[in-house]
Structure 1
Amino acid sequence: MHGRLKVRSSAEEAARKRKEQEEKAQKFRSGMGRILLKKVSDELDDEMMELTGRILTSNPDIATLWNLRRRCIQKMVLEEEEDFKQGLFDKDLNFTEMCLQVNPKSYCAWHHRCWILENAPAPNWQKEVDLCTKYLKLDERNFHCWDYRRYVVEKAKVSPEAELEFCTEKIQRNFSNYSSWHYRSKLLPLLYPNLNDPSLPISEERLRGELELVLTAAFTDPSDSSAWFYQRWLLGYSQPELDIAAFRLDTERQVAVVAFTRPVNLKLEKVRLTFDLSKETDQKLEWESATDDNYCVTWILRNVQTKPSDQSSTLVSFLDENGKTFTLQAEKHSPCSFIGIKKPKFGFEFGTAVLDVLKNQLESCQQLLEYEPESKWTLLTAALLMKAIDRAGHHAEILACLEKLQSVDPMRKGYYRDLTSRWNIEHRLEQWIDQANYAHKVDLSGLKLERIFYEQYLSVADEIDLGANQLSEIALNKFAHFVFCKRLSLEDSFENGEKAESMVKRLCCGLKELTVAV
């Protein structure tokens, strides 16, 4: 009938779409063919800009075409009069905005925009900040735009106070905003540093307010993880800062080992590690990675030539690639042995006021669990809060939470098992370090360990008991760090005891006693 839209059958619709795709593909092949020919002949002209523009407006993720546009602009700038150079950059800036409307998360388009501004004679940085504000109104979780905003804000000299206010506004509008929470964690240490304890990222007064904000966000939607992740940062459960973790020197065996909280490369030219008992103070010591990796947490020095000395300690000094110096005092533990361990921080140590806030939050979590006993984020947060309040006193309750999480959230069972292994090792390792008797064995037996963590601290131990665990074959690689271990028990810890025994003997050269049974 006249005036009525004909409804295509599914077969007709499929054929129509196929024809459209073929036409698009043909235009793309034709355009790319012409572009590549011009590239070979180095024709960086207006036609090249037009050809690349046609394709990028429909698909802005072709890095080659953006590179060609940059080459074209560089050539045109050399040929253009001074008064018109800015216009070339402004035109391509507008072009990237068109491309971002096609794909607001195009890495290539955002990168090209940065390049334009860096090379333009008179970039308008405040205009870029305003553009980010506009884009984040349309999609407040576009992490590409958040990254770009951090870049242009620095160039535009926008104050951290103004940016924190912007973040707060975005979070209050929508708590489920990972990028805004993350940006907040970068701004707060600038505005509210902890002057009394630099190891804490922000002042305790501000921390109390942030914890309250997190609680409001988390309890508004307990199933959303963004606020819970931010809370982990507040509680100190993030990557440890670089530092010397442990050191041991055996003058009789002429072996030294140094371990770090994070992987480092001691072979870099700028990096230097020395200790005042070494004869070789005028040349760089030849340290070897325990795992043969360029970056490693444990490093070994063999054939150590030491000075005759009756010193009771030796100072270990490490200069990193950024020029920062770290030190550790190693004490004499026997006539031929110096050992030093810097006790790891398994989270922040809080004052009474913050601990009261954490206890109130733990109580709130427990109340929520009465109504939603299988809320995974609440369970995990309860465990993290107990660990922050009193990790030793709450250890059994923390493990019970992790055990329950394995059944409540089976998709992440491996993660909860890893946390169980990590926190069990922390518990026993802390006890061993507090004893300050490093000749005594490190008892890690019967903990249901599947993986080994904090291997750098075990590098100075004489005896390690890892019996009655459930170690996977992946854990075997960690034994390369046990440089000074003489006695090692792996009884009932591996399914394939023979394979484990063979590999451990190869990795632990100093072993005198090894127990491996199934």
Structure 2
Amino acid sequence: AQKAQLYAALAGEVLTRRTARRYDTESLALAAKLLELNPEVYTVWNFRKEGIASVLDGGDVEAARDCAKQELELTQRALMKNPKSYATWQHRKWVVGRKLMPVERELELVGKLLDADERNFHGWGYRRWLASLVALSPESELEYSHQKIEQNFSNYSAWHYRTALIPKVHAGHKTLDQLCQEAKGSAIGEDGSAAKPESNTAGCGVQQHEGEGAGVVVPMWVLLQELQLVKQAFFTEPEDQSGWFYHRWLLGACLASANQSTAAKTSLLEALEGESSMCRELLEEEPDSKWPLLTLARILELQRQLGIGESLATAHETYKQLAETDPMRAGYYRDALSGAARVTIPPT
């Protein structure tokens, strides 16, 4: 109770000084003390921003660097208190973005954080921000994500990072919009003239990527390599969902790539056979395992969309099995049966 009273008194004093716009050394020291106790107080971080902005942005470079160093030390102490503090990470970005201190040191520090806690998504977000700030190549970041995955397959952030990096690495290839314009450009208008290609990808049969690198069609050979990589995660821990989410993204990217050539489509059809066999192999060990079941159903539907494979009856029976073994998501599986879920053909 006494600690709570002392904290309340300190917080009240700091907020009073902020209202009065007192940016003297004593006021900022009290703010720092409060933030070390509770790093999540956004208002107090903003108080410090107001108090030191003139120093950081002033003409005295030496004073600005000293101030930035002290502020980074404060955020480091705050992150030791709470490594997942949104407010602290944002404040650190605010300081580092001025490039008064070596950004390479920041990469080293966040690397140590991700070694200790490889799934800290705040650390991954900061890493991506730093990579953009200093223009690290997507190739080097792709290799970094590979290293982290090899350390621990159960790393959703590392898998997700690859969905942004792979399209960037292969940005020289045709975009989805270009492919769709080519497909629609051959259409004939009502007056007998060539129809004007549309600028969006709706209805062209090509699936879009989301986020960074949006619109890039990744070469099929790259995606097939990624399927082999993620397969290692499935046989290590088939119930871990991180790799399965990435696998779903890969299937969507494969569909987009298959529109580029007959050879790419043939490669995809062969790959889908291998992926369905993989799911069945996993299910031999764990017949009710959710992720192999769900992925198998989706693959069966994709095969039917592409004109091969079994009837949809097997996929629908799989969804019914999932509704029984995973009742919390039974509504989703019912949507899949009705054709309302993604990568699903309505029952015939």
Whether the TM-score (by the shorter chain) exceeds 0.5 is: yes
- SS where residue 57 of structure 1 aligns? helix
Figure out how many residues of one structure are paired with residues of the other and give that number: 302
Residue of 339, 345, 348 corresponding to 1:427: 345
Q: Match for 2:73: what amino acid?
A: N
Shift of 1:348: 6.2
Q: Match for 2:86: what amino acid?
A: Y
Alignment check: 8 A CA contact 2:218 2:253 kept? no
CA displacement 1:327-364 (0-9 Å, x = unmatched): xxxxxxxxxxxxxxxxxx89965521232122012012
Shift of 1:168: 0.5
Q: 1:424 to 1:104 in 2, by over 3 A?
A: closer
Q: Match for 1:61: what amino acid?
A: E
Q: Give the Cα–Cα distance (whole angstroms) in 2 for the partners of residues 381 and 136 of structure 1.
A: 30
Is 1:207 paired with 2:223?
A: yes
Q: Give the Cα–Cα distance (whole angstroms) in 1 for the partners of residues 70 and 122 of structure 2.
A: 22
Shift of 1:74: 1.8
Alignment check: 8 A CA contact 1:57 1:102 kept? yes
Alignment of 1:188-227 (within 5 A): 188-193=166-171, 195=173, 198=176, 201-227=217-243
Q: Give the Cα–Cα distance (whole angstroms) in 2 for the partners of residues 390 and 197 of structure 1.
A: 26
Q: Give the Cα–Cα distance (whole angstroms) in 2 for the partners of residues 196 and 359 of structure 1.
A: 27
Q: 1:134 to 1:424 in 2, by over 3 A?
A: closer
CA displacement 1:159-206 (0-9 Å, x = unmatched): 111111110011111111000000011111122358367456411011
Q: Match for 2:42: what amino acid?
A: A
Q: Give the Cα–Cα distance (whole angstroms) in 1 for the partners of residues 19 and 281 of structure 2.
A: 69
Residue of 315, 325, 329 corresponding to 1:408: 325
Alignment check: 8 A CA contact 2:110 2:127 kept? yes
Aligned to 1:374: 288
Is 1:85 paired with 2:41?
A: no
Shift of 1:136: 0.2
Alignment of 1:15-54 (within 5 A): 22-54=1-33
Q: Match for 2:287: what amino acid?
A: P
Residue of 121, 127, 135 corresponding to 2:105: 127
Q: 1:128 to 1:346 in 2, by over 3 A?
A: closer
Q: Give the Cα–Cα distance (whole angstroms) in 2 for the partners of residues 405 and 117 of structure 1.
A: 48
- SS where residue 403 of structure 1 aligns? helix
Q: 1:213 to 1:79 in 2, by over 3 A?
A: closer
Shift of 1:395: 2.0
Aligned to 1:365: 279
Alignment of 1:499-514 (within 5 A): none
Alignment of 1:52-451 (within 5 A): 52-77=31-56, 81-119=60-98, 122-193=100-171, 195=173, 198=176, 201-236=217-252, 351-391=265-305, 393-423=310-340, 427=345
Q: 1:424 to 1:154 in 2, by over 3 A?
A: closer
Q: Give the Cα–Cα distance (whole angstroms) in 1 for the partners of residues 268 and 9 of structure 2.
A: 65
Q: 1:204 to 1:98 in 2, by over 3 A?
A: same
- SS where residue 116 of structure 1 aligns? helix
Q: Give the Cα–Cα distance (whole angstroms) in 2 for the partners of residues 381 and 424 of structure 1.
A: 13
* More strand by percentage: 1
- SS where residue 97 of structure 2 aligns? helix
Q: 1:80 to 1:51 in 2, by over 3 A?
A: farther
Q: Give the Cα–Cα distance (whole angstroms) in 1 for the partners of residues 288 and 298 of structure 2.
A: 16
Higher Cα Rg: structure 1 or 2? 1
Q: Give the Cα–Cα distance (whole angstroms) in 2 for the partners of residues 23 and 80 of structure 1.
A: 45
Alignment check: 8 A CA contact 2:31 2:48 kept? yes
Q: Give the Cα–Cα distance (whole angstroms) in 1 for the partners of residues 128 and 282 of structure 2.
A: 37
Shift of 1:146: 0.5
Q: Give the Cα–Cα distance (whole angstroms) in 2 for the partners of residues 387 and 194 of structure 1.
A: 31
Q: 1:62 to 1:163 in 2, by over 3 A?
A: same
CA displacement 1:207-261 (0-9 Å, x = unmatched): 11111111111121111011100011011189xxxxxxxxxxxxxxxxxxxxxxx
Alignment check: 8 A CA contact 1:406 1:416 kept? yes
Q: Give the Cα–Cα distance (whole angstroms) in 2 for the partners of residues 228 and 31 of structure 1.
A: 48
CA displacement 1:450-482 (0-9 Å, x = unmatched): xxxxxxxxxxxxxxxxxxxxxxxxxxxxxxxxx
Q: Structure 1: 5+ residue runs without aligned partners?
A: 1-21, 239-344, 429-445, 448-518
Alignment check: 8 A CA contact 2:56 2:64 kept? yes
RMSD across aligned C-alpha pairs, in angstroms?
2.6
Q: Give the Cα–Cα distance (whole angstroms) in 2 for the partners of residues 412 and 163 of structure 1.
A: 35
Q: Give the Cα–Cα distance (whole angstroms) in 1 for the partners of residues 340 and 314 of structure 2.
A: 12
Q: Give the Cα–Cα distance (whole angstroms) in 2 for the partners of residues 347 and 415 of structure 1.
A: 28
- SS where residue 173 of structure 2 aligns? coil
Runs of 4+ in 1 over 6 A off after TM superposition: 345-348
Alignment check: 8 A CA contact 1:61 1:109 kept? yes
Q: 1:408 to 1:77 in 2, by over 3 A?
A: closer
Q: Structure 2: 5+ residue runs without aligned partners?
A: 177-205, 207-215
Q: 1:187 to 1:80 in 2, by over 3 A?
A: closer
Alignment check: 8 A CA contact 1:194 1:202 kept? no
Q: Give the Cα–Cα distance (whole angstroms) in 2 for the partners of residues 178 and 78 of structure 1.
A: 38
Q: 1:171 to 1:78 in 2, by over 3 A?
A: closer
Alignment check: 8 A CA contact 2:217 2:257 kept? no
Aligned to 1:497: none
Q: 1:50 to 1:216 in 2, by over 3 A?
A: same
- SS where residue 232 of structure 1 aligns? helix
TM-score, structure 2 normalization: 0.80
Q: Give the Cα–Cα distance (whole angstroms) in 1 for the partners of residues 324 and 169 of structure 2.
A: 42
Alignment check: 8 A CA contact 1:177 1:226 kept? yes
TM-score, structure 1 normalization: 0.54
Q: Match for 1:427: what amino acid?
A: I
